[in-house]
Structure 1
Amino acid sequence: MNLNATLFAQLVVFLILAWFTMKFVWPPIMKALDERAGKIADGLAAADKAKTDLAHAEKKASDELRKARESAAEFRSGAERQVAQLIEDARAEGARIVNAAREAAEAEAAAASQRAKEALREHVAVLAVAGAERILRREINAQAHAELLTQLKSEL
């Protein structure tokens, strides 16, 4: 065989194969590669968008957490103020009740003292009358001398 004819035949077969590949094989491969590149680009864009969404969501979550903490602190301070006010009111009410009880006890003690003084005056008056009766050796009529006895009680 001739080297030139073989070389020429191989060149023709190569060119036909190259043309066939360029016409029928290459476009679907390029189309698949372009679709794959598009999917990869879309995936990268989605990943970038997911990153920005995640950063935005994290920022929003931290803002919400900060707001919740501030709200809880405000609620806690309000509750502490209410508790302090309730304690102060309870102390004032307790002091008022103690003062009222003290005044009532003092009034009761004064009334009991007055009753005891009256009873003592009565008793002293009876003893005075008994003593005077013995001194005079005669009976004194308490009904007849009621004014004298009342005056004696007031002097005691």
Structure 2
Amino acid sequence: MSINLTLIAQALAFAALIWLIATFIWPPLLNAIEERQKKIAEGLAAAERSQKDLAQAQEQVDAAMRDARAKANEVIDQAHQRANQIIEQARNEAVAEANRQKELAQAEIEVAANRAREQLRQQVAALAVTGAEKVLRREIDASAHKALLDELAAEI
């Protein structure tokens, strides 16, 4: 019977041990496991939120880069337009200066031509007087016939 009594004692000891474990050890152990599961779930949720935040931040960076490129292209286009305006303005100023120089040169040429015509008229008048003297074989008074000589010079 001693085996039966030993078996009963061992069964009672085992039952007491199960009761102690179920009462004092198992609830804190389950609480620790549940807390660990919550922490892991929170960590996974935080990692997922971080990935979403990273994706949003990347999208914002991409949008900012697109905006920066667009603005840079706009600035470059404005610079090209301004350069073209400056070139066009310089070209217009050069053309205007060339026209002004041309007009001045034409005016000088016209003045010189008028001067040459006047000198030629005077020389023709002198030649006409000399020729008339030779034809008439006498001297013609230039001061007395000034009106006639001026008329002759104007016709030439």
Secondary structure of 2:40's counterpart equals: helix
How far the C-alpha of 1:84 sits from its partner, in A, is 2.3
Question: What residue number does 2:49 align with?
Answer: 49
Question: What residue number does 1:23 align with?
Answer: 23
Deviations 1:95-126 (A, max 9, x none): 11111111111111221333344455567777
Structure 2, gaps ≥5 residues long:
none
Question: What residue number does 1:70 align with?
Answer: 70
Report the Cα distance in structure 2 between the residues aligned to 1:6 and 1:123, rounded to whole angstroms. Answer: 167
How far the C-alpha of 1:137 sits from its partner, in A, is 9.8
Question: What residue number does 1:112 align with?
Answer: 112
| Structural mapping, 1:112-131, within 5 Å | 112-119=112-119
- AA at the equivalent of 1:23: T
Deviations 1:71-107 (A, max 9, x none): 3323333332332233223222211111111111111
- AA at the equivalent of 2:30: M
How far the C-alpha of 1:62 sits from its partner, in A, is 1.8
Task: Compute the TM-score of the two structures, normalised by the length of structure 1.
Answer: 0.72
Deviations 1:1-26 (A, max 9, x none): 82222222222222222211221122
Question: What residue number does 1:40 align with?
Answer: 40
Greater CA deviation, 73-82 or 39-48?
73-82
Greater CA deviation, 109-118 or 25-34?
109-118
Report the Cα distance in structure 2 between the residues aligned to 1:96 and 1:30, rounded to whole angstroms. Answer: 97
Question: What residue number does 2:3 align with?
Answer: 3
Question: What residue number does 1:79 align with?
Answer: 79
Structure 1, gaps ≥5 residues long:
none
Percent of counterpart pairs with the same letter? 43
Greater CA deviation, 51-60 or 85-94?
85-94
Residue-pair matches, total: 154
Report the Cα distance in structure 1 between the residues aligned to 2:21 and 2:36, rounded to whole angstroms. Answer: 20
Report the Cα distance in structure 2 between the residues aligned to 1:39 and 1:144, rounded to whole angstroms. Answer: 134
